[in-house]
Structure 1
Amino acid sequence: MHKLLVLYPHPEDPAAFQAHYEGVHLPLAAKLPGMLDHRYSLNVHAEPESPYFAVFEADFPDAATMAAALASPEGEAVQADVPNYATGAVVLDYPVVSR
């Protein structure tokens, strides 16, 4: 299995981030072809203080499926939407391989 991990630093306006993320971005992400499952967390808390506000994880069966999903029209729409709500740099970490 391959996992896409997206980390979001603290936004300038957390309420606006959450409204757009949950209302627009997550429905776009849910359409990624071949994705097995996904989950997210907002207001991430960690000790010491976390540099991140939100985290998104998506599971794919293999690297080829994940790459195809990210290159698909749906994947391009997801990537194009990021500047509409994320005011900081976005950290992508992939692939994470588990068996």
Structure 2
Amino acid sequence: MHKLIVLYPEPTDRVAFEAYYRETHLPLCAKLPGVQSINFSLGVTPPGDGPYFGVFEASFADEAALSAAMSSPEGRAVEADVPNYATGGATVLTYPAVSYPVGA
């Protein structure tokens, strides 16, 4: 499995960010070819208390699937949309995820 993580610093306007993110950006993300799951959280810290306002996580089968998704027309649309809401910018990380068994 390969993960795509996006960390969002504090935006200029939290309410505007969240409305646009939920109504416009996440539906674009859901169209990424090969995406297996999407998770996100907004308002992870109170204003001024931390480095990040939000976090996004998407899972793909492998690095090739993530690369294909991001180079697709849908992936380019997702990337081009970020400046429309992320006034604080965004930090993007990708990595192979390794599962560790619990409860054994």
For this structure pair, what is the TM-score category when the shorter chain's length is used for normalisation? over 0.9
Aligned position for 1:38: 38
Aligned position for 2:17: 17
Following TM superposition, the consecutive aligned residue runs of length 4 or more in structure 1 with deviations greater than 3 angstroms are none
Q: Give the unaligned 5+ runs of structure 2.
A: 100-104
Contact 1:4 / 1:96 at 8 angstroms: preserved in 2?
Answer: no
Task: Give the whole-Å Cα distance in 1 for the aligned partners of 2:66 and 2:56.
Answer: 15
Task: Give the whole-Å Cα distance in 2 for the aligned partners of 1:77 and 1:52.
Answer: 24
> Residue 97 of structure 1: CA displacement?
2.5
Report 1:47-62 matches (<5 A): 49-62=49-62
**TM-score for the superposition, normalised by structure 2:** 0.89
**TM-score for the superposition, normalised by structure 1:** 0.93
Answer 1 or 2: which has greater strand percent. 1
> Residue 50 of structure 1: CA displacement?
2.3
In the comparison of the two structures, how many residue pairs are matched? 97
Identical columns (%):
55
The structure that has the greater radius of gyration is 2
Q: Give the unaligned 5+ runs of structure 1.
A: none
